[in-house]
Amino acid sequence: MLEQVLDSNKLKELKSILEESKSVVLTCHMSPDGDAVGSTNAFGLLLRSMGKQTAVITPDQAPYDLAFVPGFNEMTAYTRNPIKAERLISSADLILCLDYNGLKRVAQMAPFIRQSNARKVLIDHHLHPEDFADLVISQPEQTSTCELVYRVFDQLGYMDLVDTPIAECLYTGMMTDTGNFSYNSNHPDIYLMVAELVRRGVNKDRIYKLACNTSSESRMRLIGYAIAEKMELYPEHKASFIVLTRDDLDRFNYQSGDTETLANMPLAIPEVVWSTFFRQENGYVKVSMRSEGNFAVNTFCSRYFNGGGHLNAAGGEFRGSMEEAIATYHQLLNDLSKLQ
Ligand code: 5GP
Ligand code: MN
């Protein structure tokens, strides 16, 4: 029996909202990851089995690496098909906002969600949820939105509806957001859930292979190049720093998702507790930071890089050139030196 961690009044309200709604749009953050794709499709498939019309809409295209997730091929990416996405959003009577805490995370889709007359329910595990939804189920102590969605299904009495495809969606997010159960993963409930999902048909070895241990040749060479040629270490700060410019990315035929785990890798070095990765995008620099222990990277990302996130995994976007972004990183190192 799982610990009952969700507020029963909110669950009651959620249940009546779900039961009353007929047409549900499920949304997640841009650059969708395993947890975003897993949680939206798990909830979408479950609601469909209850007879509702459902549509999963992502702000931009999800990486093809996640094509094994049930429901993947039916998702609509706003950037690819804005007219269809806007039509679906405007005709929905319920919008579920999964795996994001604020409308900034859905980019160009934000105004359509804000203006829609549909009821909005946020179900998420990021800190500091924005106040735009009618009902907010925010549980930052959950390791993934998929774990939270599992708990929601469990407490709502919907577990009978969780078949193999839904179980695969939930398992994918739980696995990817914990690095295959290698961090944030000491709560015994997680393993009760994993056991139940495996019982419902999840082949966990297959999902690990597809989600975490499958790579194109060009991606593998890009990662090797980034570590061998581009990683700089700053021992006085126990820091590592990797920059990939547009030229670097083009050289290795970069595809969205190819650098997903790169920011974590330098933390394998015992002398590194803070890893930073910059990737050059059109008009901005994508920032990713990872850390170990109580070294908080979300504060750096919000203060210096217009972003945020969790204590040990955060990100942001620097609006400016790569040179300016690098100068800002060095400024941050300088500021830290003064504090030490
Ligand atoms: P990643 O480095 O994998 O893009 O993101 C790691 C975590 O940082 C995400 O789970 C999310 O919580 C947070 N994050 C990443 N990018 C942004 C951003 O632009 N803004 C905010 N607020 N958080 C971000
Ligand atoms: Mn997540």
Within 6 Å (CB) of ligand 1, which residues are found? Answer: 126, 263, 288, 307-310, 313-317
pLDDT value, residue 340: 67
What is the whole-number distance in angstroms between the Cα of residue 168 and the centre of ligand 1?
Answer: 24
Ligand 2 centroid to Cα of residue 177, in Å, is 6
pLDDT for position 338 = 85
pTM: 0.93
Beta bridge partners of 299: none
Mutate to test the pocket of ligand 1, among 29, 104, 105 (most ligand atoms within 8 A of CB): 105
* pLDDT-above-70 percentage for the chain: 100
Give the model's confidence band at 104: pLDDT under 50 very low, under 70 low, under 90 confident, else very high: very high
- Ligand 1, residue 310: give the atom nearest the CA: 12
Name residues whose C-beta falls within 8 Å of residue 71's C-beta, 6 or more positions apart in sequence.
40, 41, 44, 45, 56, 165, 169
Nearest CA to ligand 1 atom 15: 315
CA–chain centroid gap for 338, Å, is 34
Distance CA 16, CA 20 (A): 6
Q: For residues 118 and 93, is the Cβ–Cβ distance under 8 A?
A: yes
Under DSSP, is residue 55 helix (H, G, I), strand (E, B) or coil? strand
Q: What is the position in ligand 1's atom list of the atom closest to the CA of 288? A: 2
CA dihedral 7, 11, 12, 17 (to 10 degrees): 140
Overall average pLDDT of the 266-294 stretch: 97
DSSP string, 311-327: SSEEEEEE-S-HHHHHH
63-89 confidence digits (pLDDT tens): 999 999 999 999 999 999 999 999 999
Nearest CA to ligand 1 atom 8: 314
C-alpha to C-alpha distance for 305 and 155, rounded to whole angstroms? 38
Pairing of strands 119-124, 53-58: unpaired
Other residues' Cβ atoms within 10 Å of the Cβ of residue 195: 10
- 125-140 pLDDT, tens digit per residue, is 999 999 999 999 999 9
Alpha-carbon distance of 5 to 46, in angstroms, equals: 21
Q: What is the mean pLDDT of residues 33-43?
A: 98
> What's the confidence (pLDDT) of residue 160?
98
Q: Could you list which residues have their CB under 5 Å from ion ligand 2?
A: 35, 99, 145, 177
For residue 99, report the distance from its CA to the centre of ligand 2, in Å: 5
Residue 43 has pLDDT above 70, yes or no: yes
The pLDDT assigned to 339 comes to: 76
Q: What is the pLDDT of residues 186-231, one digit of tens each?
A: 999 999 999 999 999 999 999 999 999 999 999 999 999 999 999 9
Closest ligand 1 atom to 287 CA: 2
pLDDT of residue 274: 98
The neighbour count for residue 287, using CB atoms within 10 Å, is 25
138-167 pLDDT tens trace: 999 999 999 999 999 999 999 999 999 999
Residues 6+ apart with CB under 8 A from 136: 121, 122, 129
User: Which DSSP string corresponds to 219-246?
Assistant: HHHHHHHIIIIIEEEEGGGTEEEEEE-H
- Measure 216 CA to ligand 1 centroid, in angstroms: 24
Nearest ligand to the CA atom of 103 = 1
The per-residue pLDDT for range 296-333, each reduced to its tens digit, is 999 999 999 999 988 999 999 999 999 999 999 999 99
Amino acid in the structure at residue 245: T
* Mean confidence (pLDDT) of the chain: 96
Atom of ligand 1 nearest to the CA of 260: 3
Pocket test for ligand 1, best of 126, 259, 276 (most atoms within 8 A of CB): 126
Mean local confidence (pLDDT), 106-111: 96
Distance 309 CA to ligand 1 centre (A): 5
Task: Output the pLDDT for position 224.
Answer: 98
pLDDT of 46: 98
Q: Give kind and range of the element (H or E) at residue 156.
A: helix 145-156
Q: Which helix (H) or strand (E) holds 287?
A: strand 284-291
Please report the pLDDT score of residue 217 as a whole number: 97
Structure tokens given for 39 = 């949680």
Please tell me the predicted confidence (pLDDT) of residue 1. 87
